[in-house]
Structure 1
C-alpha cells in the first residue's frame, strides 16, 4: 500500500492496463474527476484546526481570549488620560493669523487646472474650483491641528489647570479654543460653497469672478474671526514660559507674607535669580531655581506673598502660591519678618502662618526669621494693633518667631550655613517620601 500511494498517475495507468480490477477502479475515479489513492483516502478523515499567529507561536483559537483577538482601538478613539506636567512645553507653534492667511493664499495660487481640458471655460472653472478648495484646506488644516494639539483643560495635571485659570482667567482657555473651532468651520463652509459655485460657472469670465468672490469671502471670514488665532498664539507664549516642574524631583517652596525676604533667600540657596525690591508683591509669578547636592538636583520655588484674608478674597498671585502647595510634592520653607519692614504686622503674619501650617501640616517644614540683624530692642507692634487680647503665643512670636526657627541675615550672613544644612536634610527626606510614594495631593484631601 505504501508503494502504491507513491505512484504517479501515468504509472497507475500502466498498472491498470495489466489488471482488470485496477482498470475498473481507475476508470471510476477518472469519471468523478478525482484521482483516487490510498493516501488521499487516509487524509480525508483527518481533523484540522485553524490557529492564528500569536507572538510568533501557533496556538489553537480556543486558548486565546476574546480580548487578545479584538481589533485594537485607534488612538483617536481611545479615551484621553490625565497628562503629566510639561503639557505647556508640548504646545505646537502657532502662526499669526496674517501669516497663516498669506501662506494659504500663496500656496493656493500655485494650483493648476487638470491637464487635458481643451475647453477654455471648463479649464478655468476647474482651476478656480481647485484653487478655492486648496485655499480652504490650507486655512482649515492648521486650525484643525491646533484643536487637536492643544489639550483640553480637564485632561491636564491639576497644577497646570490652576495655572491656566489663575494666569488667563477662568474659562478663557476654552473660550479661545472654541473661537478657533468656529473659525475653522466657517472657513470650510464658505470655501465649499464658493468652490461649488465656481465649478458650475458657464464661462471663463464667470469662473474668474466666482474665484475672486470666494477669495474675498474667505478673507472677510479671517478679518472677522482671525483674532482667535492671535489669542491662541498669545496663550501659547504665556503658558510655554511657565517654569517646568519635575514631580520626581524634591521641591522646596518658599512661603510667607509679601516682602519678607523670600526672593533674597532663593538667590542664595539656588540658581534662581528673582527680582528683589523693597516693596510688596515683587514676585509676580512662580520662579523656579535648582540646588545641586551630592550629585542630586533639587528644585526651589519662589512664590508670591500671602496676606491675611480668606481664600475667596485672595488675588490670583496668592492663589498661585496655594496651587503650588496644593498640587506639587514639596517641602515648605516659611519666611517670617518681625522687623516691621515688610508691611505686614507680626500679628497678621502669625495668623497667616497658623492657617498655612494647619492646612499643610503633613509637609516637611522649615521656619526662618529673616533680617535678624535688625531685630534689636523691643518687639515691633503696629499702632493699629490691639494688644489687650494678645495671647502668650503671639507675644512670644513677636520676639523670636515660631519655636525652632532659624534666624538668618542675608546682609551679615548670620545663620546661612545652618539654613543650608537644614535645607539639605529636609530635601533628602523629601526625596525619600517621593520614592516611597508617601505623597498626597492636598486637592483631594477634605
Structure 2
C-alpha cells in the first residue's frame, strides 16, 4: 500500500511560509502602485501559505488508496497492523484541516482587502497564527500516518486472480521445502507483520492458469489456544486469501512434534478456517514402520502422502489445486 512521505507540522509550515515569502517578493517586484503594495504583498502571503498547506494535505489524501476500495484481505491486514478506524480517523483529520484552511484563506483575504495598509501585517500575522494552530492540532494524526507508512510499506503483493493455497503445519515439517518444490524456485519472502518471520509466497502457472502458495511462519504453526487477538484476526485476513489450506503433517515425527500434537493443531486450524483443508503427510520416505502413521491417516479424508525433499508425490498437490479450481466453476 503506497503512502507518500508524511511531513511533521514544522515541515508543513516551513514549506508554506517559505513559498509565501517568495510570493510576497514577487509582488514587491511588480508594478503595483505603492499605496496598494503592502496589502497586496500580505494578501499574497496569506493565499500562498494556505494553498500550499492545503495542497500538502490533499496530495496525501489523493495518493492514499481508500480502505473500503481495497480487497478484504488488505482491509483486515491494515486493521491488524495499525488499526483501520485510527487510519481512517487520521485521514479524516487531514481533510478537516484542508477544508478549514480553505475557509481561512477566503476569510482573511476578505479581511485584508477591507483593512488599512497600516494594519495589513497584523491581519497576515493573525492568519498565520490560525493556520499554524490548525496544523499543530493534527500533529498526532500526522505522526500516526507516518507510523502507518513504516508498518505498511512492505505489504505483501498478492495475486487475487490466482487460485490460492495457504500452507499450515508445525515448524520443520517441510513446508518451505514443499513450497520450493511446488514453485521450482526460491519463495519470495516479504515482511509481513502478522507473523514472526515473514510471509513466503510461491507462484506457478499450470495449464495457463495461475496458482499461488502462501506459508506464514509464526502463525499457522502453533496451537490456536496460544494465539493472541492480533494473530486470530490475522487468520481471518488469511481466510480471505485461501481457496484451499494444505495442512502438512510430518509423518516421521523428526520435526520433534508427535503426530498426536500435529492432529490437535490440525483440528484447531480447522475450527477457525471455513476454507476446505487438504491434509498432506510429508517425509514418508523416512517412515520405516507405517503402523502409527496409518492410524492417523485413517482418521482423515483422502490425505496425500509424499516426500517433499525428494519431490515424490508433490505433483499431486498441483493436481488437487486444479481439481479444486474446476469444482468451483
TM-score of the two chains, using structure 2 as the length reference: 0.75
Shift of 1:401: 8.7
Q: What residue number does 1:128 align with?
A: 42
Distance 1:309 1:241, change over 3 A: closer
Distance 1:254 1:187, change over 3 A: same
Q: What residue number does 2:316 align with?
A: 422
| Contact 2:306-2:312 at 8 Å conserved across structures | no
Name the CA distance, whole Å, in 2 between partners of 1:215 and 1:371.
Answer: 74
Shift of 1:243: 2.0
Shift of 1:128: 0.9
Q: Secondary structure at the match of 1:418?
A: coil
Higher relative contact order structure (alpha carbons within 8 Å, sequence separation ≥ 6): 2
| Contact 1:129-1:196 at 8 Å conserved across structures | no
Please tell me whether Structure 1 or Structure 2 has the larger radius of gyration of its CA atoms.
1
Aligned-residue RMSD, C-alpha:
4.0
Q: Secondary structure at the match of 1:288?
A: strand
Structure 1 residues 285-315: Cα deviation after superposition (integer angstroms, max 9, x where no partner):
x43221244555421211222533459x644
Which of 278, 283, 305 is matched with 1:406 structurally? Answer: 305
Structure 1 residues 190-241: Cα deviation after superposition (integer angstroms, max 9, x where no partner):
545544444444234x323433453354345434424523432442454352
TM-score of the two chains, using structure 1 as the length reference: 0.58
Is 1:308 aligned with 2:308?
no
Name the CA distance, whole Å, in 2 between partners of 1:418 and 1:395.
Answer: 17
Q: What residue number does 1:105 align with?
A: 17
Shift of 1:328: 2.6
Q: Secondary structure at the match of 2:22?
A: coil
Q: Secondary structure at the match of 2:214?
A: strand
Name the CA distance, whole Å, in 1 between partners of 2:304 and 2:93.
Answer: 52
Q: Please list, as runs of the form range in 1=range in 2, the aligned pairs for 1:363-374 lying within 5 A after superposition.
A: 363=276, 365-370=278-283, 373=286
Q: Please list, as runs of the form range in 1=range in 2, the aligned pairs for 1:13-52 lying within 5 A after superposition.
A: none
Distance 1:155 1:372, change over 3 A: same
Q: Please list, as runs of the form range in 1=range in 2, the aligned pairs for 1:128-277 lying within 5 A after superposition.
A: 128-147=42-61, 150-169=64-83, 171-188=85-102, 190-204=104-118, 206-236=119-149, 238-258=151-171, 260-270=173-183, 271=185, 272-274=187-189
Shift of 1:143: 1.9
Q: What residue number does 1:328 align with?
A: 241
Distance 1:178 1:129, change over 3 A: same
| Ranges in structure 1 where 5+ consecutive residues have no aligned partner | 1-87, 276-280, 380-392, 437-446
Structure with a larger share of its residues in helix: 2
Aligned residues: 317
| Contact 2:278-2:303 at 8 Å conserved across structures | no
Distance 1:367 1:338, change over 3 A: closer
Shift of 1:125: 1.3
Name the CA distance, whole Å, in 1 between partners of 2:69 and 2:231.
Answer: 24
| Contact 1:266-1:273 at 8 Å conserved across structures | no
Distance 1:224 1:341, change over 3 A: farther
